[in-house]
């Protein structure tokens, strides 16, 4: 089957592609002819993911899905959460987002956080949601490691010694919020 992935974030494509069975052909937005920004104006991950998937479905009437992800930090009352992408402003700069979180977390002893991904899929014209989460904590400062993207250099999953930015793609995919949501999505597709 063919699935359009409603994202402009190539890192997400890079993480999800190797998790999909060969029977699923992933189609990038630009290959589906969509180059404009997709609005994400809702205030939950699920509603944002569905907004992105519906945007594509309404244009193309094809099976598609979107991923909305947020980093929820306990000591910050769940922020940046659904506002993760633009936490430090419209520029969506990962470096600035990380800097803002580290400043807000400077005096915080409790550093627990959860990465959450919600996948919204429209399959055969019907909407579905799949969630994945991983608990961990926020590092005192940016760790070494250039892998991953976004907040990966400050997130250390529980039970691990290193951040997502220090892990290979395979290691991150064996633990991550996104990989867990994708696994549920694949299970659903296989059960149809």
Rule CB under 6 A: say whether 136 interacts with ligand ITT.
no
Of 3, 56, 73, 85, which lies in the binding site for ligand ITT, with binding defined by CB under 6 A? 85
68 binding ligand ITT? (CB under 6 A): yes
Q: Does 81 bind ligand ITT (CB under 6 A)?
A: no
Q: Tokens at residue 174, please?
A: 């064996």
Map 137-166 to HEC letters. EECCCCCCCCCCCCCHHHEEECCCCCCHHH
Burial class (CB in 10 A: 0-12, 13-18, 19+), 180: buried
Q: Count Cα neighbours of 180 within 13 Å in the Cβ-side half-sphere.
A: 13
Which residue in the set 65, 137, 151, 185 belongs to the binding site for ligand ITT (CB under 6 A)? 151
Segment near ligand ITT (CB under 6 A), from 1-9, 54-62, 105-113, 129-137?
A: 1-9
By C-beta, is 51 or 189 nearer to ligand ITT? 51
Integer Cα distance of 117 and 131 in angstroms: 6
Active-site pick, 37, 68, 74, 152: 68
| Total interface residues for ligand ITT by CB under 6 A | 20
CB of 147 to ligand ITT, least distance (A): 10
- Residue 63 a catalytic site member: no
Q: Least distance to ligand ITT from the beta carbon of 108, Å?
A: 19
Question: Among 60, 74, 112, 149, which residue interacts with ligand ITT (rule: CB under 6 A)?
Answer: 149
Examine residue 7 and tell whether it contacts ligand ITT (CB under 6 A): yes
In this complex, which beta carbon is closest to ligand ITT, that of residue 83 or of residue 128?
83
Please state, in angstroms and rounded to a whole number, the distance separating the CA atoms of residues 145 and 168. 10
Closest separation between CB of residue 84 and ligand ITT, Å? Answer: 4
The number of beta carbons lying within 10 Å of the beta carbon of residue 25 is 10
Q: Give the Cα separation of 184 and 174 in Å (integer).
A: 14
Both tokens of 9, joined, read: 């974030």
Characterize the bridge pairing of strands 25-28 and 80-81. Answer: unpaired
Contacts to ligand ITT by CB under 6 A: 7-9, 12, 40, 67-69, 84-85, 94, 97, 148-152, 164, 176, 178
């Amino acid at each position: 089957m063919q699935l359009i992935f409603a994202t402009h974030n190539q890192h997400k494509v890079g993480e999800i592609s190797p998790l999909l069975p060969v029977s699923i052909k992933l189609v990038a937005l630009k290959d589906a002819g969509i180059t404009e920004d997709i609005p994400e104006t809702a205030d939950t991950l699920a509603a944002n993911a569905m907004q992105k998937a519906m945007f594509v479905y309404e244009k193309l009437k094809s099976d598609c899905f979107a991923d909305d992800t947020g980093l929820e930090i306990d000591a910050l009352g769940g922020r940046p959460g659904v506002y993760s992408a633009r936490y430090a402003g419209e520029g969506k700069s990962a470096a600035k987002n990380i800097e803002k979180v580290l400043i807000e977390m400077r005096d915080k002893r409790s550093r627990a956080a959860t990465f959450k991904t919600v996948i919204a899929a429209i399959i055969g014209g019907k909407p579905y949601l799949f969630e994945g989460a991983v608990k961990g904590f926020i590092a005192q400062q940016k760790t070494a490691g250039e892998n991953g993207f976004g907040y990966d250099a400050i997130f250390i999953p529980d039970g691990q010694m290193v951040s997502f930015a220090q892990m290979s793609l395979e290691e991150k995919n064996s633990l991550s919020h996104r990989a867990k949501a994708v696994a549920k999505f694949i299970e659903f597709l296989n059960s149809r």
